[in-house]
Chain A
């Protein structure tokens, strides 16, 4: 019964979306306020209906209702409760419902928080947002309905893919989808602006918080995926340039560019046309990501042909939205008044450089990802484009970006002074150079790029801190006054510095793990020892263990400090076999230290009773994910500033007065 309620609510949500797609836009056209006002309640009701549908499906999973086909195919009664819940989005149908939930959630948020928007703008934005919900609602109901029943109901389910039974991977999709789908708001704003045929600096101010929120979620989502791959896939890789990863990385790159170009539009009324185009492209890349992952076109062009229904549907969605918005863009581009010109050496100039490099790298990833597909379908030749290609093309584009990054915030608007900016950040530059020399001197091995990247990361981190210190005039005036100035700064300035610091930290981590990884492979018998990366590691033997729905073979490794002989920890890497599906997974044994991770993997048993053991030391690897989290925090701070300015203008003014009084 509850499943049918969910099914019904989903259909109702689609009907509401249809109404919301048509009436407000028509109202905006005719100047009919009543029609325009349909948008807000429709958006909220639509979200409520999809929530009901999602809750109904979750309920079916929680009580293991195997008469629902989707539950039967993807769940099992012996599964721990948390994975029963996360299993809702651990499959195609459920994850599309999650996608729709997020999409309508963002739509409802625009309706609720967008009261300050001009009526016509809001009506158009909600209309466009609803049209996306219509497309995906139809997709779910027609091709991927999670509410279909099975008669007779089977006794037990087939079980969730064991790889998905993991805390990080359980929360990875919601963040990722919030990111993908959050960019739909920027898209809707862009299309609404094109429908109206005008944009103002205010448009950028409206779009920024939504873009920022989406970007933050995507950052965390990608980082979680990378972290999961690191500890789960069994050799400590954290990024593979896999097409599925690229699918999420492309909208991230474009979204990052969008965040920065929107600043220029807001402050200087320049880059209007470009920012609108970027908003369209960012969401288009999200749709492309959905298409690539959901259609199966990636594993091979032929896998797509096996079951083309869904792929063709998403492809159609893509063609309609990308093609339609770009056609509208081409038609209206002339009507948008371009902002003023500006000097290359200025804050806006630096943001343009940021955009050029980010979009070029995004396009490079796009070409690298699609090239083999296109070539195969055109000429039949099978080519691989793998990590060596992306490392050779992407990394060189990131180097100038990171070199220039700290200078941007140090340059003034309109007309900057490059020499003065460099002088201002001299200390950071020296720190970066010291890091390069130190990395060369201390480690004395690894690729030449690694120390250089290390120095770049330090330069970005140090400059982020120094920029704040210089601005609040630490050292010039008393520290108390300087502290007051630091606190009085708009929190978006703090957010920028913190996010940039996170970028630097991530670069240091990437340099560390890519350049200085240690690894060894041994055939070890019980009670044998190996000394590795400053540790004496004794293999005590293999012990069987049991989890709720799996059995495993744990290798027990006593880790001693090579210098003192003290036992530091015991690591238990294992091989798991899941009962329901008979699939095996590898669980690494990891010890995190300040300098890096000791990472052990238990391999196959050999005929002579020994085991293959892989030993790794991944220096600074955690900086990568900590850096991503710091970027998220920076975004959060910046977002809090936005809300003050947009949501409550009066309060912000009062605060400003108070700050002025303090200063």
Chain B
């Protein structure tokens, strides 16, 4: 019985550790080391923005730019090597993906598998407005207010005056 309990505790512990890994690998992270920084500022800037798009594969949801894991450092150096060799951003991205798979990109590329992901916001927004459309009265119907004749300017002014008097702060809340 005791051993069973112990086993259970251990497997629970493992699960908890897996969850806590999120926090643990994130802690103590500070990314780029001084010896990595490129002299060419424009190139370094490109290196930084590229690094921010690449996932640190041994961390939990961190880019290599933020992580101090050795693997992240290797990748940062790799990116900088390639930049110095004069490769374009997309060439470097392709190279890294060839080595580590699509998983390494924090922002997945548009493909048939990610089509829904990228177009979802637009589709949802369009769908939402389409649904709401049924709720909206056309402005002319709204102003007609059930078919009566509209007020004359003098009548409208009188109404404003009367309504204005009755309310405490001049507005509805």
Contacts and interface: CB of A to CB of B under 8 A. Distances in A.
Interface of A: 69, 73, 91-92, 151, 161, 163, 232-235, 237, 240, 242-244, 270-271, 293, 296, 298-299, 303, 306-307, 310, 341-345, 347, 349, 352, 356-357, 359-361, 363-364, 367-368, 371, 375, 379, 381-389, 392-393, 396-397, 412-415, 471-473, 485, 488-490, 492-493, 521-523, 575, 583-586, 601, 603-604, 612, 614, 659-660, 663
Given A242-B22, A296-B18, A384-B105, 14 more contacts: A161-B20, A161-B23, A296-B15, A341-B137, A352-B132, A364-B120, A364-B121, A371-B117, A386-B61, A387-B52, A389-B106, A415-B143, A492-B173, A585-B27
9 contacts: A234-B30, A235-B30, A242-B22, A306-B18, A342-B137, A382-B102, A384-B108, A489-B169, A612-B34
A307 B15 contact: yes
Contact of A363 (B9, B124, B136, B143): B124
8 closest A-B pairs by CB: A386-B106, A388-B107, A307-B15, A343-B142, A382-B103, A523-B34, A303-B18, A356-B128
Nearest to A72: B9
B66 A232 contact: no
B35 interface: yes
Nearest to B136: A344
B172 A413 contact: yes
A379 B125 contact: no
B136 A342 contact: yes
Judged by DSSP, the binding face of A is mixed
B46 to A, nearest CB: 15
Contacts of B142: 342-343, 414-415
Contacts of A367: 116-117, 120
Interface range on chain B (Cβ under 8 Å from partner): 35 or more
A603 B102 contact: no
Nearest to B33: A612
A360 B128 contact: yes
B116 to A, nearest CB: 8
B104 interface: yes
A304 to B, nearest CB: 9
Contacts of A412: 171-172
A522 B35 CA distance: 9
Interface string B105-118: 11110000110110
A92 B60 CA distance: 20
A343 B105 CA distance: 45
B145 to A, nearest CB: 9
A471 B121 contact: no
Among B2, B31, B108, B114, chain A packs the most CB atoms within 10 A around the CB of: B108
A489 B20 contact: no
Contact of B108 (A345, A383, A493, A612): A383
B29 interface: yes
Interface string B28-40: 1111111101000
A655 to B, nearest CB: 11
Nearest to B62: A240
Nearest to A353: B132
B13 interface: yes
Residue of A232, A363, A659 most packed against chain B (CB within 10 A) = A363
A232 B27 contact: yes
Contacts of B84: none
B28 A343 contact: no
B154 interface: no
A387 B63 CA distance: 9
Interface in B120-139: 120-121, 124-125, 128-129, 132, 135-137, 139
Contact of A243 (B14, B61, B103): B61
Q: Residue among A293, A357, A379, A614 with the most chain B CB within 10 A?
A: A614
B27 A586 contact: yes
B159 interface: no
B172 to A, nearest CB: 5
Contact of B28 (A234, A392, A522): A234
Contact of B102 (A299, A306, A383): A383
Nearest to B131: A356
Interface of B: 2, 9, 11-16, 18-24, 26-35, 37, 52-53, 55, 60-63, 66, 68, 101-108, 113-114, 116-117, 120-121, 124-125, 128-129, 132, 135-137, 139, 142-143, 168-173
B119 to A, nearest CB: 10
Contacts of A234: 27-30
A383 B124 contact: no
A604 B70 CA distance: 13
B124 A586 contact: no
A299 B168 contact: no
B30 A603 contact: yes
A356 B132 contact: yes
A490 B172 CA distance: 10
B129 to A, nearest CB: 6
Contacts of A413: 172
Given A92-B16, A342-B136, A393-B121, A356 B168 contact: no
Nearest to A359: B128
Nearest to A613: B34
A489 B11 CA distance: 59
Given A359-B128, A386-B63, A392-B107, A235 B29 contact: yes
Contacts of A296: 15, 18-19
Contacts of B117: 367-368, 371, 385, 389
Nearest to A611: B34
A271 to B, nearest CB: 8
A253 to B, nearest CB: 13
B139 to A, nearest CB: 6
A306 B17 CA distance: 12
A299 B9 contact: no
B29 A473 contact: no
A398 B90 CA distance: 29
A376 to B, nearest CB: 9
Contacts of B68: 603-604
A307 B18 CA distance: 10
Contacts of B108: 383-385, 389
Contact of A586 (B30, B37, B55, B135): B30
A521 B113 contact: no
A204 to B, nearest CB: 15
Nearest to A383: B108
Contacts of A471: 169-171
Contacts of B114: 371, 383
Contact of B9 (A69, A232, A240, A347): A69
Nearest to A151: B2
Contacts of B27: 163, 232-234, 583-586
A397 B22 CA distance: 29
B103 A575 contact: no
Contacts of A270: 135
A360 B121 contact: yes
A472 B168 CA distance: 10
A393 B27 CA distance: 28
A535 to B, nearest CB: 19
Contacts of A299: 18-19, 21-22, 60
B29 A382 contact: no
Contacts of B128: 356, 359-360
B65 to A, nearest CB: 9
B106 A388 contact: yes
Given A342-B136, A384-B106, A490-B173, A397 B121 contact: yes
Contacts of B173: 489-490, 492-493
A388 B52 contact: yes
